[in-house]
Amino acid sequence: MNARIPAGVLNAAHTLSQVSDLWDAQIVPCLEDYIRIPAKSPMFDADWAAHDYIGTVVRNTAAWIEAQKVSGLVLEIVQLPGRTPVLFFEIPATKAQSTQTVLMYGHLDKQPEFSGWRSDLGPWTPKIEDGKLYGRGGADDGYAAYAAIAAIQALKTQNVVHPRIVGLIETCEESGSYDLMPYIDLLKARLGDVALVVCLDSGAGNYDQLWLTNSLRGMASGVLKVEILTEGIHSGDASGLVPSSFRIMRQVLDRLEDSATGRLLPASFHCEVPTDRLAQAQATAAILGEEIYRRFPWAHYDCGGSTTFALPTTTDPLQALLNRTWKPTLSVTGADGFPELKNAGNVLRPYTAFKLSLRLPPLVEADAAVQQLKALLEDNAPYQAKVTFEGLSAATGWNAPGTAPWFESALHAASQAHFGAPCGYIGQGGTIPLMNMLSKGFPQAQMMVCGVLGPKSNAHGPNEFLHVPYAKKLTAAVAQVIAEFP
């Protein structure tokens, strides 16, 4: 087969065949081993350094990369004192007179277990079923480093000239990437003149085409705590006189959110949707239609012989896209101060604490939002209760730069070659802190932000899976785009 492929020309069919073989023979088994290791991000494992799970997945990934013997590749595990490690590799350019760099990004830290996994599945027990690899972190984002190397190896095997390529794989992303900037500062000279970023940590609107992420929401998280007593007391004795900490919590949150609509009240938490993003959202809404909201696992129940499903905030496809990408939203992701139901006696609890996750539109500065949030929630507490908000992490969102003609052409060509459909453009509601950092540091760089988190892949939740057939095609598409780099 190789003999029929002219050297220096990337053959799409051969590329997909090559990366598919590597995925089946090596990458999937490596990811199964990766899933077994509870390498939770530092926010969710205070003893991460002692447990060494993060260190283990970094060393395992590095060992696999070195075993591929990619021509010219130099790899290093870099770790600053007291910080999570990063995996850094660099490959010199083979393209004549090329001075620019392609940066490939991913992360190896994971979200915690969460509950609700199917009885035959679990966060640390990998399972392949119908082309899907189930388990925590495989799709978010353990596969990224492996896919990046597979794409590069395809270029090497077919003797396709390429620019200088560097890889940066971090282990603090799920905690807000607070360790990342020191590494970017440390490695800045080695990063070079970054002209294309390939970030493999995002989502897909479906599994039928290549998807480019054009925006990411920011995030601010923290713990809001309301204290009214020093200890629990008999609810019959005190209720009606001692105000419930939960009721005070509701009052405080009412300052932030309209509970009837979910709209966040501070005007500064909102921004206008840029014209080009609105046009792209309209096109994507036409592609995905009702699947935008139908893909979620809605609760349902029997009602007089018919099944009734819970409803989304809107059934309009365009508005649904905008709601999850360009509007601020509040989620309560954890609670403290509550006993388990089986241990809940008639006691007025001394405090209520909620972990808040605030998603911010791409153009809203996260640090400013956190300061406003703290003042809004803490000032003038009802009943002079002790109300505190402790910020945990904050990351400003990202709006993609303009798309260069070569890049847009390469994206559509790669999507047509491997999926038989044009590239789609979609905003994501999640946060990748690195993208905003890189856009500021390399404002002229093109950003190929993509990933395998398509419908029902359920990153962060139960039954997370990696869609292996899609991952193979995405890997091949990345190789093709890099091959088209001018």
Residues 430-445 have pLDDT tens digits of 999 889 888 888 889 9
Asked whether the predicted pLDDT for residue 2 surpasses 50, the reply is: no
Q: Which domain holds residue 263?
A: 218-271+298-395
Please state the domain count of the chain. 2
Order of strands, sheet of 193-199, starting from the edge strand that comes earlier in the sequence: 74-78, 86-91, 164-170, 100-107, 193-199, 446-449
Residues 283-329 have pLDDT tens digits of 999 999 999 999 999 999 988 888 999 999 999 999 999 999 999 99
Sign of the Cα pseudo-torsion (251, 253, 254, 255, in order): positive
Domain end position, chosen among 341, 361, 395: 395
User: Do the domain assignments include residue 182?
Assistant: yes
CB distance 37 to 57 below 8 Å: yes
Whichever domain contains 338, its CATH number is 3.30.70.360
Residue 175 shares a structural domain with residue 226: no
> Residue 4's pLDDT is what?
45
Band (pLDDT 50/70/90 cuts) for residue 39 is very high
**Residue range 269-277: mean pLDDT, rounded:** 97
Phi, psi angle pair for 222, to nearest 5°: 180, 175
User: Do the domain assignments include residue 289?
Assistant: no
| Both tokens assigned to 178 | 């607070």
Going by the DSSP 8-state scheme, the letter that residue 411 receives in this structure is H
Residues 51-101 have pLDDT tens digits of 999 999 999 999 999 999 999 999 999 999 999 999 999 999 999 888 999
Whichever domain contains 87, its CATH number is 3.40.630.10
Q: Using CA atoms, how far apart are residues 465 and 220, in angstroms rounded to an integer? A: 26
Residues 6+ apart with CB under 8 A from 216: 202, 362, 397, 398, 427, 428, 430, 431, 432, 435, 436, 449
Residues 6+ apart with CB under 8 A from 220: 358, 360, 366, 369, 370, 373, 391, 393, 394, 395
**Residue range 100-123: mean pLDDT, rounded:** 97
User: Do the domain assignments include residue 422?
Assistant: yes
Q: Using CA atoms, how far apart are residues 224 and 241, in angstroms rounded to an integer? A: 23
pTM for the complete prediction?
A: 0.91
**Residue range 155-168: mean pLDDT, rounded:** 97
User: Do the domain assignments include residue 286?
Assistant: no
Q: Which residues of 36-75 are buried (b: 16+ CB within 10 A; e: fewer)?
A: ebbbbbbbebeebbeeebbbebbebbbebbeebebeebeb
The mean predicted confidence, pLDDT, of the chain is 95
Residue 51 shares a structural domain with residue 77: yes
Nearest Cα to 169, choosing from 187, 154, 151? 187
User: Do the domain assignments include residue 306?
Assistant: yes
Residue 9 shares a structural domain with residue 76: yes
Type of residue found at 381: A
> Residue 8's pLDDT is what?
63
Domain end position, chosen among 351, 369, 395: 395
Strands (E), 38-121: 74-78, 86-91, 100-107
Q: Is 21 helix (H, G, I), strand (E, B) or coil?
A: helix
Residue 335 shares a structural domain with residue 432: no
Asked whether the predicted pLDDT for residue 473 surpasses 90, the reply is: yes
Q: Using CA atoms, how far apart are residues 369 and 361, in angstroms rounded to an integer? A: 11
DSSP-assigned states of every residue in 342-376: GG--SEE-SEEEEEEEEEE-TTS-HHHHHHHHHHH
| Both tokens assigned to 52 | 């060494």
Percent of the chain past pLDDT 70, that is, above it, reads: 98
| Both tokens assigned to 214 | 């054009």
Residue 212 shares a structural domain with residue 334: no
Least confidently predicted of 3-7, 146-150, 403-407, 454-458 = 3-7
Asked whether the predicted pLDDT for residue 49 surpasses 80, the reply is: yes
| Both tokens assigned to 341 | 């139901």
Asked whether the predicted pLDDT for residue 120 surpasses 60, the reply is: yes
Type of residue found at 434: L
Residue 54 shares a structural domain with residue 198: yes
Residue 370 shares a structural domain with residue 419: no
Strands (E), 39-131: 74-78, 86-91, 100-107, 127-129
Phi, psi angle pair for 129, to nearest 5°: -150, 120
Residues 326-346 have pLDDT tens digits of 999 999 999 999 999 999 999
**Residue range 411-422: mean pLDDT, rounded:** 97
Least confidently predicted of 5-19, 126-140, 173-187, 351-365 = 5-19
Residue 232 shares a structural domain with residue 191: no
> Residue 434's pLDDT is what?
84
User: Do the domain assignments include residue 187?
Assistant: yes
> Residue 5's pLDDT is what?
45
User: Do the domain assignments include residue 291?
Assistant: no
